[in-house]
A and B are shown apart, each in its own frame.
Chain A
Amino acid sequence: MLAYTLRRALWAIPTVLAVITVCYLLLHLTPGGPFDTEKQLSAAVLQNLNAKYHLDEPLWRQYLRYLAALLHGDLGPSFRYNDWTVNDLIRKALPVSLGIGGISVPIACVLGIGFGTLAAVRRGSLIDHGVMVLGNVGNVVPPFVIGPVLVWVFAILLRGAHGHGWLPAGGWGDGAWQYRVLPIALLTVINMATIARVMRGSMIEVLGGNFIRTARAKGLPAHTIVLRHALKPALMPVVSLLGSVCISSITAAIVTESVFALPGLGQLIVNGAINRDYTLVLGLVVLTTVVAVLFNLLVDLAYAWLDPRIRY
């Protein structure tokens, strides 16, 4: 088990390294520096800036310098926001993103697994149809449509006595709960739709299998069969799905933050890309890739741990 973990972890490193290198090259090799869009700077000022950020050094040296700093957890200074380092910017935006994603993903998992199981166990019932419809909707209607529609309904159409919408149309405020409801709802619904659909399909398949037939022949009551015999095998496809849910959550998070104007990591990278803030973009790419790779690793490990037939 340990060897398996180590081997998988080892593969994570070249992945991250490859991503960093490719992005680094992309950023530095394409024409246009970070200061091009500024108002006309005098040559001397430009030279100083380049020297300060080591942009006058040969590329390979800049690259190595960057990698060295990375190992210390230092993502470098922001090119755009002069007095801020990338670490600072991330530190400010992270709580926003976590406050939304960190809450919605666990909720989506629990609800998705729960509803999926219920739908499979009560075929043809209201819950079953509900899950199928929700699954289809979540699959087909993109988050950047659901989001604005939610805003339209809850912030514009439904108005309280005070003339404002039930919920704010966007912004973070001070992180008060009203500002979190719609974004969390959006992310939860999207993820829940996929998870519930997969769980339902998987559970239906497991319940039709031979060892469930044996369990029934032993006289076990329905709840025991579902919880003790069917749940674990049925979870396997869902677990392996979580990896790709994580990746698509990143996209969904970026869209959500855009729709609701939340000052999170998503906004940070979009602005950073538009402003050509090299270090900021690189830093975020590094961060998300590491997180994504780690998450995939955890998912693989969970998969191996759950299934007793896989032993390394």
Chain B
Amino acid sequence: MNRFFLFGSTAMPAAAVDVPRSRSPLAAAGARFMRNRAALIALALLLLIVVVCFSGPLLLPNNPIDSDWSSISLAPTLQGAHWFGTDELGRDLLVRTLAGGRVSLEVGLLGTLVSGLIGVAYGAVAGYAGGRTDAVLMRIVDMMYAIPYMLIAILMMTLFGRAFYLVVLTISAFSWLDMARVVRGQTLTLRTREFVDAARATGVKPWMIIARHIVPNLLGVVVVYASVTVPSIVLTESVLSFLGLGVQEPMTSWGVLIQDGAQKLEAMPWLLLCPALMLCVTLYCVSFVGDGLRDAFDPKEH
């Protein structure tokens, strides 16, 4: 027989799965996530990275700014004080990578928080209001989608300076679009459910309905999209830093380090490779966790 895998998904004729025990959807999703080994490993690794980046610079003897003139341009070595090596000014790369990681992660998390809040509020209002309001609000989102946001971001960074909070705000200003769309879709479906009608019948005000009944049920999609937004924001910050328009000295981020490393590639390739590796591993873990969350909240066959 031809084992030609062309056709037919690995389908089951009828659902031959465990009989579900009744559980809240959140607990059910949590349990499903716990069963996903790859996602759990990724989550553990991610937490490790976060802890190391935030505590490392405090605990390690070296300083991201100070130069150790006795060991300039040192390649990575496990003996001695500089595990990741040093740059041409003698600055320890390990500590700089961790400090940079802290900044990148802070931007990512804060940015996701801000853009998440905007997106959820915007989407929930649009979805709940429906009709003309919804159409107008979504039209604005459509328009914003078509704008090449990187250019605007570049513009804003040069005009308003590169203080940390400005970086976060600038990036957040364009990252809430996907969240808004998804939240709106979910709200639209939730709106037609009975419990909303019941609340409305008893005279609860619209904003209260949104806050009390709709928002808690949005948790699933919000968590999934947040896990997608974090890497996207970290990447945007890294690109801006790479172009020289991100966070300023003395702060450093992975993007800054990578740009620095890219220029000194011939002599000191580790300056590029170490922060690049950290960045990629972090993003990879986040994407695994994101996939796991998506599967946990919405199990489907691949």
Contacts and interface: CB of A to CB of B under 8 A. Distances in A.
| A and B interact physically | yes
Interface string A129-151: 00000001001111011011101
B151 A284 contact: yes
A26 interface: yes
B112 interface: no
B229 to A, nearest CB: 14
Interface in A1-28: 11-12, 14-15, 18-19, 22-23, 26-27
Contact of B148 (A26, A27, A276, A289): A289
B47 interface: no
Contact of A140 (B145, B242, B272, B287): B287
B280 A292 contact: no
Nearest to B142: A11
B215 to A, nearest CB: 28
A243 B143 CA distance: 12
B238 to A, nearest CB: 6
Contact of A156 (B9, B159, B266, B302): B266
B280 A145 contact: yes
Nearest to A288: B148
Mostly helix, strand, loop or mixed at chain B's interface? helix
Interface stretch (B23-31, B79-87, B255-263): B255-263
Interface string A255-280: 10011000000000110011010000
A124 to B, nearest CB: 6
Contacts of B269: 152, 156
Given A144-B238, A144-B262, A208-B8, A26 B155 contact: yes
A247 B142 CA distance: 13
Contacts of B163: none
Contacts of B114: none
A76 B265 CA distance: 40
A222 interface: yes
Contacts, number: 143
**Interface size grouping (class) on chain A:** 35 or more
B152 A285 contact: yes
A27 B159 contact: yes
Contact of A124 (B5, B139, B150, B302): B5
Nearest to B275: A145
B6 A145 contact: no
A122 B283 CA distance: 29
Contact of A152 (B152, B154, B265): B265
Contact of B155 (A145, A254, A281): A281
B145 A142 contact: no
A16 to B, nearest CB: 9
Mostly helix, strand, loop or mixed at chain A's interface? helix
B147 A292 contact: yes
A244 B8 CA distance: 31
Interface string A226-254: 10000000000000000110010011001
B11 interface: yes
B75 to A, nearest CB: 15
Nearest to A285: B151
A148 B272 CA distance: 8
A289 B147 contact: yes
B39 interface: no
Which of A125, A140, A255 has the most C-beta atoms of chain B within 10 angstroms of its own C-beta?
A: A140
A40 interface: no
A12 B280 CA distance: 37
A156 B269 CA distance: 10
Contacts of A136: 284, 287
Contacts of B238: 142, 144
Contacts of B244: 270, 274
B158 interface: yes
Contacts of B302: 204
B146 A251 contact: no
Nearest to A26: B159
B160 interface: yes
Given A142-B279, A255-B242, A30 B159 contact: yes
A156 B244 CA distance: 24
B5 A270 contact: no
A296 B148 CA distance: 12
B151 A212 contact: no
Given A251-B148, A270-B244, A285-B148, 19 more contacts: A12-B146, A15-B143, A19-B147, A22-B152, A121-B6, A142-B235, A145-B280, A147-B262, A148-B261, A149-B276, A152-B265, A208-B8, A226-B6, A243-B145, A243-B146, A250-B150, A251-B150, A254-B150, A292-B147
Interface pairs A-B: 5 shortest CB-CB: A208-B9, A148-B262, A273-B158, A15-B143, A251-B150
7 contacts: A23-B155, A121-B5, A122-B6, A140-B284, A145-B276, A288-B151, A292-B148
